[in-house]
Structure formats: structure tokens, C-alpha cells
Amino acid sequence: MEAEGTVGKALDVLEQVAAAGRPVRFAELLATSPYPKATLYRLLQTLVAQGLVAQDEGGRYALGLRLVRLAHAAWAQSSLAPIARPWLDALAAETGETIHLAQLDQGQVVYVDKRNAARPVEMFAQTGKVGPAYCTGVGKAMLAHLPEEALLRALERQSFHRFTPQTLTTPAALRAELASIREAGHALDREEHEPGIICCAVPILSRSGRGIGALSLTSTTARSTLERLEAAADRLRAAAAAIGTAAEPWGFPG
Amino acid sequence: MEAEGTVGKALDVLEQVAAAGRPVRFAELLATSPYPKATLYRLLQTLVAQGLVAQDEGGRYALGLRLVRLAHAAWAQSSLAPIARPWLDALAAETGETIHLAQLDQGQVVYVDKRNAARPVEMFAQTGKVGPAYCTGVGKAMLAHLPEEALLRALERQSFHRFTPQTLTTPAALRAELASIREAGHALDREEHEPGIICCAVPILSRSGRGIGALSLTSTTARSTLERLEAAADRLRAAAAAIGTAAEPWGFPG
DNA sequence: GACTTAGTTTCAAATAATGGAACTTCATGA
DNA sequence: TCATGAAGTTCCATTATTTGAAACTAAGTC
């Protein structure tokens, strides 16, 4: 924490409210805040006045609906997600499996759209969720197509947690994996993030060759195998190529 | 525009980028900004540094993915939307029509979750989308259960636009409608917002009797009638009651 | 009714934001 | 080739906002 300028401080506080995951009292925030009582108090007042944070009758703070409005605008004006929609529909219908569309933001994977085989579109329940880049199919596919400098920055701020026995936990192992992903043209998640969950992902490249997102097909070891997912890689690649051609060249910054 | 404090100014700029609906150049923003060149420039720099705004290679500004992450957190920590999910699933399955869950934020309707009709139909509203309160079913259902003071504030900032011939365009007409909604226990949208679109909505009340959201069943005049939607009102009310009982008493502030 | 805990306000000092103007690119076309 | 201008960036003395220790209020608790 500790950010530059008043706006940065306000966002620190906002992020703290977000991290709590439930409505929190002032005292709870104060306990783990780097800011003194009066400062924290006024920052929260400002956030409430702006609608970024809401306060219940008991005075507890939670994230406000203005964020939901703004995120909808962000999604709608993106050059990737709205364009990709029909392709996700088609892939989900053809494969009967779960399809993810992801982008990279500050070194993390952000899922920006999804189709669940069983259920219809449910936006925020899944959209906006974040995950680690180094142990997901979409994450590795995007990292593999990041310029060296951006990759370094992304790896720097990463701490490698071993989610499963298969998780790659060193930069060296990851770099070797990224090289083979570039060669194969697709990335596999061999239960590296969650046991029983496997996935095949391809990068989405803009016309200028820059990575702007990734597309993945996810299944469970109970229902499918890596070989079967890999067999669908060409189908994914075709969709990714079409999306990349249609999209504005808006790169993911890492 | 023109807001209090540095945070408010930064959010003004953010909102301007959102309003554009597409990546915009600095000069475009400057043309309609109340802030001088240097100030606007530095506000944008700050927003970019914070990840709320992203910049493409051409230097154009668009909303950043950090907003999508934050909105997901807002959605997940809400005391309403996650709890309501199974009921939306059930209502959509039973009726085969579109179901919306909405909340009121600063006098506007914000759709926080939805289920699409089983039959292939175009999207009316995505999650996070906003709409007017005075001419939608969910909006009127919520306005009807707002305390007088909050209703006044909501009406004040409302300008009544006549979307269709059926739209109520005066505070007096709306107040009469709200009274009859309170009596009936549900609100109808008689093509007041979009021609051909009808809807029946019920308020979701917390255990303390406060309005915290609304639930609606939407259809088209081609496929159904107001009478048929109204017949499902009891089913909606039952779901709303269950959700309201399970939810934390977190009122909508108007 | 003294004592703790949670939240709110004050005000002089410290800090950050402001904005007019000057400067740097970069594209255009005479 | 070199003027012309449009778009974007930086400077810096001035100005306004933010800061935070401490005092204060309100609401429990024993």
C-alpha cells in the first residue's frame, strides 16, 4: 500500500474495502490501514460521497454500485469482449464445455467473459474474477506472447504459490514452458491451478501481432483428457484469429 | 460536472471517458472538460497510473480492467445479488422468460443480474447496465417503497423523457402510479420504456421492511400479455420474500 | 456514574494540486 | 527545406487542499 497523491490513497482504501469481501466497520479498516484515523475517516467520507463506497444503517462500509456501472461501461467500450461474444457462443455450443475469455491486467488474469456449458450467461458472477497468470492456461498463453520487458515486470511482482503438485513455481520452469507454448501455439493447464481442472488456451493476437487476450476451453479430468482438449486447439485458434483480426489493436499492458 | 476535492475531479474525468463509449484522444476530452489542459492531463496520468484508465499505443484513453475487478468484488460482497442467484435460475427455468434483478443507485436503476429467456431473444440489458427508474418495472417497484424524503431526492434529479407514448412524464402521474403499485404489490411496465417490451416487477423488502431491490419478469407483446405476466406476480413475490429474508438489511439509498 | 470503545470534528502546519505559459514533437504543405 | 499549426508534455511560483494530533461526542459496559 501507500500510494502517490490523494487519488491513490483513496483507491488504497477502496481496495481495502474490496479485500474485506463483506461490509466492514471503520475500526476494522483502521486496524490494518497505514493512514491515521482522521485521514482514513475523511477518505471514506469522500468515497461514500462519490458513490464508490456505500454505507449501511449500521455505518459499515461496502463497495458501491457505481463501480458496477463503470465496469459495465469498461466492458462495453473494450475492443475485445463485445467482439468476441458470438465466438464464445459458438465455441460453447460446439464443444459443450466451459469457454473463457481473459485479459492480462497488472500481471493478473482477469476473466472478461465466459460461457458455461450448462448455464446461460451470468455476467458478474464470473466476469471480473481474477486469477494467477503463471498457472492458468489463459495466463500462460498471454505471458508467452508478452514482450521480454513486460514479461520481466510481470514475473517480478509475482510470488509463485504451489496450488497443486503440478504448479510451476520458478521463473526458469515457467520460461521453458512459455517457449514450448510459443512453439505449439497453445497452452495447456495440467491441473496446475486446481486439481481435476484441465484446460487448453490460445492467445488472441492483434493484426500487428501483439497479444491482446486469450481464449480457453476448460474441462475436468473426470469428463475429458488433455489430448481431447488439445484436439480442439485448432478450433480455438481459428476463433482467436478471427477475433484478433476484428479487434482494435489494443494490447494488454501486463 | 465540477466536483469537490481531487478525488471528485478524477472521477469526473473517469466518467467522461466512460461516457465516450470508445477510446478517446486527449484533445477530445479537453474540448468538453471544465478543467484546464495541464490539470486534465495530470488527472489522466493519475488514472492511468492507478489502472482505472488504460492507454493504447496511439495514446487514446479507455476505461481500465481494474474497474472490472473492483466491480466483481462489489458484486460478490453484496448482500443481495449472490443470495438471489438460485432464485433467478429457478424463475427463468419455470417461466422461460427473461428475469432481472435490479437495485437503485443515485436515482437510477442498475441491473445487477439477469437470466435470458430460454428462447433465442436479443439482449435487453447486460449486468451493470443502467436505466431510468420512472419508466421501468423494477424502477417503479423500488420507487414505490422508498421513504418520502429519498423519493423526493430521486425525482428532483430526474428529467422525464418520453421514450414511448405510454411513458409517465410528470411527477404527479408517477406518484399516482406508485400508490397503486403499493396497493397491488407489483409494478407493470406497459411498454413505457421500449415499444413491445412489457414487464411485471416486485420489490424485494428486507426483514425490516426496507426496499433493497426488485425482481422482474420481462417479455414482449409478441409473445405474451400483461395479464399473463401479472399472473406470475405471486411467484415473483414468493421469490422476493425469500430473498429479502435471507439478505442482510442493506437498503437502497436512492 | 466512572470507564471503555467507536466514531467525528477542529485547526495550524505540511503537502499536493493548480494553470498560464513555454516547450517539444510530429505532420502538413508551400 | 522550412514555416505553420495542432497535439501533447513539462515547468514552477502560487494557491488550495489535505493532513493528523488532539480534543470531543455518543454509545455501550460494568
Residue B253 lies in a domain: no
The residue out of A64, A84, A103 marking a domain boundary is A64
Nucleotide closest in space to A45 (CA vs C1'): C8
- Quick one: B85 and B64 in the same domain? no
Q: CA B150 to CA A164: how far, in whole Å?
A: 52
Report how far residue A69's alpha carbon sits from residue A51's, in angstroms, rounded to the nearest whole number: 11
User: Is A138 inside any structural domain?
Assistant: yes
For B1-16, b/e burial (b = at least 16 CB within 10 A) is eebebbbbbbbbbbbb
Interior angle at CA A87, CA B69 and CA A231, nearest 5: 100
CB-CB contact of A109 with A124 (8 Å): no
CATH number for the domain harbouring residue B58: 1.10.10.10
C-alpha cell at B29: 476530452
Structural domain that includes position A40: 5-64
pLDDT per residue rounded down to tens, chain A (254 residues): 557 899 999 999 999 999 998 999 999 999 999 999 999 999 999 999 999 999 987 889 999 999 999 999 998 888 898 899 889 989 988 998 899 999 999 889 999 988 876 644 445 556 778 889 999 999 999 999 999 988 998 888 889 999 999 999 999 999 999 999 999 999 999 999 999 999 999 999 988 888 899 999 999 998 899 999 999 999 999 999 999 998 765 544 44
> At residue B204, what are phi and psi to the nearest 5 degrees?
-105, 120
Q: Where on strand D do bases come within 7 A of a protein Cβ? A: 6-11, 17-23
Tell me how far apart the alpha carbons of residues A141 and A200 are, in angstroms, rounded to a whole number.
Answer: 9
| Closest-lying nucleotide for B55 based on CA to C1' | D8
- Among the candidates A64, A93, A113, a domain finishes at A64
Same domain, B182 and B238: yes
Judge if A239 and A160 occupy the same domain: yes
pLDDT at B137 over 90: yes
Q: A130 CB contacts (<8 Å, ≥6 apart)? A: A105, A108, A109, A110, A111, B69, B72
* Strand ranges in chain A using DSSP code E only, listed in sequence order: 53-55, 61-63, 98-105, 108-115, 130-132, 187-190, 197-205, 211-220
Strands (E), chain B: 53-55, 61-63, 98-105, 108-115, 130-132, 187-190, 197-205, 211-220
Q: Is A198 among the domain residues?
A: yes
Give chain B's domain count: 2
Task: Evaluate if the CB of B9 falls below 7 Å from strand C.
Answer: yes
pLDDT digits (tens, 9 = 90+) for B30-44: 999 999 999 999 999
Kindly provide the ipTM of the predicted complex, given to two decimals. 0.90
- Enumerate the residues of chain B whose CB falls inside 8 A of the CB of residue A69: 105, 108, 110, 128, 130
CA distance A132 to B254: 37
Distance CA B179, CA B145 (A): 10
Are residue A138 and residue A241 in the same domain, yes or no? yes
Q: For residue A254, is it within any domain?
A: no
Q: Do B106 and A23 touch (CB under 8 A)?
A: no
A9 CA: nearest nucleotide by C1': D18
Q: Which of B72, B88, B210, B250 to mutate to test the interface with A (most CBs of A within 10 A)?
A: B72
Domain end marker among B47, B69, B91 = B69
Share of chain B above pLDDT 90, in %: 69
- Gap between the Cα atoms of A200 and A196, Å rounded: 14
* CA angle at B234 for the pair B228 and B236, rounded to the nearest 5°: 90
Question: Based on the domain organization, do A230 and A195 belong to the same domain?
Answer: yes
Count of residues making up chain B = 254
Strand D at less than 7 A from CB of B7:
yes
Q: Do A6 and B11 touch (CB under 8 A)?
A: no
B19 interaction partners in chain A (CB closer than 8 Å):
73
Residue B214 C-alpha from the chain's centroid? 10
Asked, for residue A253, whether it belongs to a domain, the answer is no
Same domain, residue pair B60 and B131: no
Chain A 188-247 residues in 7 Å CB range of strand D: none
Q: How far is the CA of B37 from the C1' of C20 (A)?
A: 10
| B128 and B159, same domain (yes or no) | yes
